[in-house]
A and B are shown apart, each in its own frame.
Chain A
Amino acid sequence: MSDHLTLSNANELIRIPAESLVYVASEGNYSDIYTRDREKRTVTMQLGAIEELIHKQFHTDGNLFVRIGKSLIVNMEFVHYINPAKKQIVLSDSHTFNFSLEASKEALRELKKYFEKEL
């Protein structure tokens, strides 16, 4: 088990603590990684490749991240607000950052149900 997501290529290596990774957004062949310090880091990896790394490096923590459609990977710890009708999901730690993102109604409806099951 690792508590960091480690991304490495020929030139650089990035380590991001699981609790600092807020979300990853797809930009085609690139991915933008957003962290709690409101920094954005762009990496030359597709979202699927990052999902695979998250799966392999964090999997024993369980249920920490969720892939939402083709464009987002979200840290579920920071899901603050979901409104499927508005296709809106807000990620926040209620203190330092607040990201408002858009996703499909159906996916957000499923995510809302997922959280409701945990009640």
Chain B
Amino acid sequence: MSNYNDIKDNEIRIIGNADQLTTTLRKPIYRRWWFWATVVALAVLAALLIAMSISRKSNDAATKTVENIESEPVAPTVVKSEPAATVLVSDTSVNDVQMRIYTPVNAVPELCIGYPDPNDNTLVLAFQAADIRADNHEILGAYVLKGDMLSRGRSKKGFCAIIDGKIQLGMAESTPLLEEATEKEGYFFRQYPLVLDGQMVQNKPKNKALRHALCEYNGTIVTVSSMGKESLHDFAQALADLGVQNAIYLIGAESYGFCRTQSNETPETVFWGEKKNDKMFEKVNFIVWRAVE
């Protein structure tokens, strides 16, 4: 016995045993609760690590296929039966997520900075596009307005490029479409990717809010709004389950926007959200659809 003080309060030790000079009647290790707790904890940890490893491998595989995806350019929807530029509105529900689909027809997309004028009869649809940085009130991520690069950066991997009036959605750290947009007087902005190649993309925000998305759906470009407050995950999953091929996020919550519909040949403008006039929103920006000239 090297140290006679080496004993715990829950142990006993026989002193002076002739056969074993000192006998410790400690419980066998396998009869101690902490032994089994440790075994269980290690087993759970091992299972988690294996599960995470498998998940990471599958995610890596998925990521490899979607990391640099961009859609084919989608031309504006032309409906000859419609007399002029308008927005077709339909409602649907997937996974208990109520959604409204806006399909602009006979209108071309573009970006604009500042609140669009709803009295401008050439505008039929407007959604807030890129986020504004809280620190310097600049646009978050790369932003091209009619060929002018107004902002740089790629904090969000999703992007929308509008070149020659055609929209391309995708997800990439860098894309030649950014340069192409500057060369061809096009438009470009970044947002969260929601759906790529029919697969939902995970994003960090977990809160629930009204959601908007710019989507490629059945070969046309549409915007989709949730009718209720949804998590980004549930909204993206609903879009994927709806059959959306590609989608990026548009600013949600109380963001401002409007659409002009043609019901019974009477134009009707529907608004949502609210205008904010404080300094932070000097660079508020929109994707709008304007009547084909």
Q: What chain B residues lie within 8 Å of A70 (beta carbons)?
A: 5, 7-9
Q: Assuming the A-B contacts A54-B16, A55-B1, A110-B27, are A104 and B9 also in contact, with contact meaning beta carbons closer than 8 angstroms in the complex?
A: yes
Question: Quick one: closest A residue to B19, CB to CB?
Answer: A62
Assess the B19–A104 pair: CB atoms within 8 A.
no
Of listed B8, B13, B19, residue having the most chain A CB within 10 A: B13
Assess the B7–A62 pair: CB atoms within 8 A.
no
How many interface contacts (CB-CB < 8 Å) are there between A and B? Answer: 88
Q: What chain B residues lie within 8 Å of A49 (beta carbons)?
A: 4
**B134: CB under 8 A from chain A?**
no
**B12: CB under 8 A from chain A?**
yes
Chain A facing B: main interface SS: helix
CB of A102, distance to nearest CB on chain B (Å): 11
Question: Quick one: closest A residue to B15, CB to CB?
Answer: A65
Q: What chain A residues lie within 8 Å of B25 (beta carbons)?
A: 110-111, 113-114
Question: Quick one: closest A residue to B13, CB to CB?
Answer: A67
A64 to B15, CA, bound (A): 7
- Count B-side interface residues using an 8 Å CB cutoff: 21
Enumerate A58-72 residues with CB–CB distance to B below 8 Å: 58-71
- Count A-side interface residues using an 8 Å CB cutoff: 32
6 A-B pairs within 8 Å (CB atoms) are namely A64-B16, A67-B14, A68-B12, A70-B5, A103-B9, A110-B27
Apart from A52-B4, A106-B10, A114-B14: 13 A-B pairs, beta carbons within 8 A = A46-B5, A51-B15, A52-B1, A58-B16, A59-B18, A59-B21, A62-B18, A63-B17, A70-B7, A104-B9, A104-B10, A107-B12, A110-B25
